[in-house]
Amino acid sequence: MGRRLTFQNRFLRQLGAETLRNSSFPSNLTSAWPMTIFMSTSAVDQTRILRNSKMTKKRLSQEERRNQIIEVAIALFAGKGFKGATTRAIAKAAGVSEAIIFRHFATKEDLYDAIIAYTLDKRRMLWEQEESPQDSQDLEALLKNFAQAYIQRNRQDPTFIRLMMYSALEDHKFRERFFEINRSPLMKAIRLAIERGIAEGKYRPVDPHLTTRSFFWSLMQYCINRFVASNRSSDENSDAEMVNNLVGIFILGITEPAVQPLENGLQPT
């Protein structure tokens, strides 16, 4: 009995003052406490995370606290990888105890799912703010619009690219789940424009889906090289040059070559 009380006292101290202010404890809280012990990591030194963690000193609503933990976890995963960022490190950066994290996310897997949903919602809202070309059949305009928006977004915040890289390196399902759930309306418009061009004989009979994805992967590789792998900053003029060059090559590559007349002016049969 004494040992049980000692454990409960340690548990209450771990919950901290914020939890003690609650009028009641969930009945399953103690059963969720013995979580898997993840590998340790060094102290977080990312300025943005530490700056954001200062907001934890004020009392937050449950939704605000949950979103804050997600944002801190995203930054940590982007900097240390999914395996390198522990719940202890996330709690320290967020200015809360691990028990608070487990109150919002029963397992680390639940936190992964929340990050995916949060990231998708955030990027979907950004895509909805973009103005699509009025002529949805103009493939060149669609490609330029999508490329410029995608590069600019990752220039401003390369966190998503970092998450994708760590996901690929660690064989994590963040990348897989993202592409299963995410369906960009601009990507769909590009694919449909290619399909129409093929039906009209304007474009070669390529695979519209694979062709659209190839264009996207080219943009992602550019963003990795520019905003993650390189220490040198690039200006937006270089982005525009890259977009114009890539779109030009892309359009030329899928366009059905025009039939050239013979020297006597006749068309080949």
Domain borders along the chain are 34-129, 134-254
**pLDDT above 70 coverage of the chain, percent:** 62
DSSP secondary structure code for residue 228 in this structure: I
**Cα separation, 197 vs 140, whole angstroms:** 12
Q: Which residues contact 56 (CB under 8 A, 6 or more apart)?
A: 68, 94, 95, 96
Q: For residue 159, what pLDDT is reported?
A: 78
- Once rounded to an integer, what is the mean pLDDT over residues 2-21? 42
The yes-or-no verdict on residue 10 having pLDDT over 70 is no
Q: For residue 237, what pLDDT is reported?
A: 85
Across 50-59, 163-172, 189-198, least confident range: 50-59
Quickly name the fold that domain 34-129 has: Arc Repressor Mutant, subunit A (1.10.10)
Q: For residue 263, what pLDDT is reported?
A: 61
Residue of 59, 52, 55, 46 lying closest to 19 (CA atoms): 59
Residue 186: exposure state from Cβ atoms within 10 A (0-12, 13-18, ≥19): buried
**Cα separation, 136 vs 159, whole angstroms:** 30
- Once rounded to an integer, what is the mean pLDDT over residues 116-138? 70
**Cα separation, 128 vs 184, whole angstroms:** 9
Q: For residue 40, what pLDDT is reported?
A: 30
Q: For residue 75, what pLDDT is reported?
A: 87
Across 10-14, 36-40, 168-172, least confident range: 36-40
Residue 157: exposure state from Cβ atoms within 10 A (0-12, 13-18, ≥19): middle
**Cα separation, 11 vs 9, whole angstroms:** 5
Q: For residue 262, what pLDDT is reported?
A: 57
Mean pLDDT, all residues of the chain? 73
Q: For residue 147, what pLDDT is reported?
A: 93
In tens, the pLDDT along 94-113 reads 999 999 999 999 888 888 88
In tens, the pLDDT along 37-65 reads 222 333 333 445 445 554 445 678 888 89
CATH of domain 134-254: 1.10.357
Residue of 90, 66, 88 lying closest to 77 (CA atoms): 90
More confident site: 87 or 207:
207
Whole-model pTM? 0.60
User: What confidence category does residue 16 fall into, taking pLDDT thresholds of 50, 70 and 90?
Assistant: very low
